[in-house]
Amino acid sequence: MITTTTDLRSLTEMVGGDLLDVSNLVPANFDAEEYQSKPQDVLRLRNARLVVRVGLDYDLWFDRLLQAAGGRDIQRGGGGYVDASYGVAALEIRGVSLGTGDGHAHGSANPHYWLDPRNAELITANIFAALARIDPGNVKIYEANRQAFLARLDRKITEWETRLAPLKGMTIVAYHNSWPYFARRFRLDFAGFLEIKPGVPPTPSHLAGIIQTMRKRGAHIVVRESHEPDRDVAFVAQRTGASVVVLAATVGGLPAARDYFSLFETNVGALIDAAGPK
């Protein structure tokens, strides 16, 4: 079983339990949008019975890799192919999808949908459906695993929502726009982003605008992911007196974020710590 990212790996493991051997292509803490595949990846895909990808144009490089690997079952439309974004309500749709379409053109929406824990229900449903196709003998075990996972997730979401309640409406600025799904679930206000387009450094008037917004709204949290540059974030934080919070947008993004649950535990804890004393 191959997934593109660590998040999907963690979710696939939640459904598969001990029955599956799951590995991810993009290492933890690596920007999956800029991943360059290696020869070994093709080999690993040749032996894979199930592939799970993020979709929404997030891992476009995966298409070419699949082509190189061959094997009809794991190609788009095959029994072992899972686009985990299927059925997810996408946010911030602005452009038209760049990927090779398969009928449900989802447009280039914001792809960080796994950061809304409620979306895990749909993601695991997609994974479960594929597992049921390729391994019908163990369907009952997969179903039981998934139900146990969802029950635990449900309790946890309530807990996280309660813990983050004091931060409701608090203005936060982030480096990259990874957080709309997270913000929607936990009712946080991400008011601006330092990075306008991936790979393009912020312009002076954009930074000035962000600083002005932060001062006006009394924002005192700037979020960055651990693989993002700290200089620009530190610059803004220093000018506004805000504190920098490093969050994990993927499993493994921080050492403490070992699986899908601890990913949210870590982020919730970091945000509360940053907002707490003020």
Partner 1 sequence: MIEAIEFLWPPFLVAVCLVGIHVYFGIQVLARNVIFVDLALAQIAALGATVAFMLGHPAQSLATYGYSLGFTLGAALLLAFTRHWAKRVPQEALIGVIYVVAAAASILLIDRAPQGAEHLKQILTGNILTSGLGEVAIIVPLYVGVGLVHFLLPSRLMHAGSLFWEFVFYSTFGLVVTSSVALAGVLLVFSFLIIPAIIGVMFASSPSKQLAIGWAAGTLTSAVGLAASFVLDLPTGAAIVCTFGAALALAGAAYPFFRGGRLVTLGIAVRVARWGCAAVIAGSALQLAFAPRGDQPLMDMLETVAPSLRSLYFTEVEAATYRESNEYAERHRLAAEQLIELERRRRTQGEALDDIEVRRISSFMKSYVEMRKGEHFVMAEVRARARERIRWPASLSLVALALLIAPLPWRRLGARLPHRFQPVLRASQRSTVDR
Q: How far apart are alpha carbons 50 and 161 in whole angstroms?
A: 34
Question: For the residues of 55-122, what is the DSSP string, one character each?
Answer: -TTTTTHHHHHHHHH--GGGSTTSTTEEETTTT---EEEEE---SPP-S----EEE--GGGSTTHHHH
Residues 6+ apart with CB under 8 A from 71: 45, 46, 48, 78
226 CB burial (10 A radius; 0-12, 13-18, 19+): middle
Nearer to partner 1, 35 or 260 (CB): 35
- In one-letter notation, the amino acid at residue 178 is S
Residue numbers 199-218 binding partner 1 by CB under 8 A: 200-208
> Binding mask 98-127 vs partner 1 (x if CB under 8 A, - otherwise)?
-------xxx-x--------x---------
Nearer to partner 1, 109 or 257 (CB): 109
Nearer to partner 1, 46 or 215 (CB): 215
Residue numbers 124-183 binding partner 1 by CB under 8 A: 168-169, 180, 183
Nearer to partner 1, 144 or 159 (CB): 159
Minimum CB distance to partner 1, residue 260 (Å): 19
Nearer to partner 1, 49 or 239 (CB): 239
Residue numbers 27-66 binding partner 1 by CB under 8 A: 27-31, 38
Residues 6+ apart with CB under 8 A from 261: 152, 153, 156
- In one-letter notation, the amino acid at residue 217 is R
* 229 forms part of the interface with partner 1 (CB under 8 A): yes
Q: Give the interface with partner 1 as residue ranges (CB under 8 A).
A: 27-31, 38, 89-96, 105-107, 109, 118, 168-169, 180, 183-184, 187-189, 200-208, 226-232, 234-235
